[in-house]
Structure 1
């Protein structure tokens, strides 16, 4: 099992999506919810109600807008969203690990590439969320909590699960060059994804990391 270093030094970012969405992403890149560029066959895996609510959450710092103007990532592959998708918890549809991929980049990589971004110290939809737009503020993230993979509710620390859901938000759109790679569950999916990458003429890195899944 490959251990994941979750730290401000690396500041990696992880976005989960359905494997069926990858061919379109390879051809078109990633686009925010408010974009006019939309995958007509997009396979949704998240909570639709929360996705819609995010359109009303304003970003208080540059480049401003609302959460719908950003592509959201978490700072851990072991996100509560990933767990809920795997288990089918609440209103979220169960999806097996083999059908889930992680799109991976980092704050340092997107900053170097000149992308506009913000990040939060907790779930971005919350009124208590603090927003930042520079890697100089990465110490505001609770990296120790993220590294522990512990998102059990704690009556002595009621904001714990909120901090575990700290978000990195990239403004409007991303190209495949803005990603560091794609992670999948097993080598079976890796073969399929590598063929998609080859068909698109890109050199995107694809790796199987079963240890990055619940």
Structure 2
């Protein structure tokens, strides 16, 4: 069974994703001058635009679309707490769920890391026969203070991930589920919308 992956974004970005037909990398989104509700740390995003990738298509981490191997990520906790670049909380955050095989079927330039990709000592791996080396127990840990970096292992796809690759959209509340269903109603591709409060803090 293919390994599931999760990308978080603000609900206000969903119309753009559908209109573009894909999730763009930060670098490509900046190049295209697309509006975006940024929920991450600006300084980390800027650093990732200069952090070299030594495997697959090369370039920089910011030229890849990032996914975690679990919902309820460490970054979502930071968003929930509020940080200097975003204070909107987690109520409007979506989990866009796909899996490694589905994305790789449409994008051959992918790799994964054993810990948070931005860390200098993160291993970049494009040999997917090694994906079982990831520590699933730590990645899915509910209490992750002792395994914070391992929980933040990443799957990264070069430039874009097709909207058609998104299989499921996880939300915190029934109200947001209804909002999402209205947004995707006119889309040819309609992922399942699921209310998953356990994916949140």
TM-score, shorter chain, exceeding 0.5: yes
Instruction: State the 1:135 CA deviation.
Output: 2.8
Instruction: State the 1:65 CA deviation.
Output: 0.8
Instruction: State the 1:60 CA deviation.
Output: 1.1
1:34-87 Cα shifts (integer Å, max 9, x gaps): 1123422x1111100111011121111111110011011111112110001011
State the secondary structure of the residue aligned to 2:185.
helix
The residue number in structure 2 matching 1:172 is 159
RMSD: 1.7
State the secondary structure of the residue aligned to 2:26.
coil
Relative to structure 1, the CA distance from residue 185 to residue 115 in structure 2 (aligned partners, 3 Å threshold; closer, same or farther) is farther
Match of 1:103 among 96, 100, 113: 96
The residue number in structure 1 matching 2:15 is 23
The residue number in structure 2 matching 1:12 is 4
What is the number of equivalent residue pairs in this alignment? 198
The residue number in structure 2 matching 1:39 is 34
Gapped runs of 5+ residues in structure 1?
A: 1-8, 154-159
Instruction: State the 1:139 CA deviation.
Output: 1.7
CA distance in 1, matches of 2:77, 2:131: 25
CA distance in 2, matches of 1:78, 1:146: 10
CA distance in 1, matches of 2:74, 2:88: 14
Instruction: State the 1:185 CA deviation.
Output: 1.2
Match of 2:122 among 113, 116, 129: 129
State the secondary structure of the residue aligned to 1:56.
coil
> Conserved in 1, the CA contact under 8 Å of 2:107 and 2:158?
no
Instruction: State the 1:133 CA deviation.
Output: 1.7
> Conserved in 1, the CA contact under 8 Å of 2:107 and 2:157?
no
The residue number in structure 1 matching 2:182 is 195
> Conserved in 2, the CA contact under 8 Å of 1:85 and 1:92?
no
The residue number in structure 2 matching 1:49 is 43
The residue number in structure 1 matching 2:60 is 66
Instruction: State the 1:114 CA deviation.
Output: 4.2
State the secondary structure of the residue aligned to 2:9.
strand
CA distance in 1, matches of 2:141, 2:156: 23
> Conserved in 2, the CA contact under 8 Å of 1:31 and 1:38?
no
> Conserved in 1, the CA contact under 8 Å of 2:112 and 2:125?
yes
Is 1:163 the counterpart of 2:150? The answer is yes
How high is the TM-score relative to the length of structure 2?
Answer: 0.91
> Conserved in 1, the CA contact under 8 Å of 2:140 and 2:151?
no
How high is the TM-score relative to the length of structure 1?
Answer: 0.86
CA distance in 2, matches of 1:174, 1:94: 27
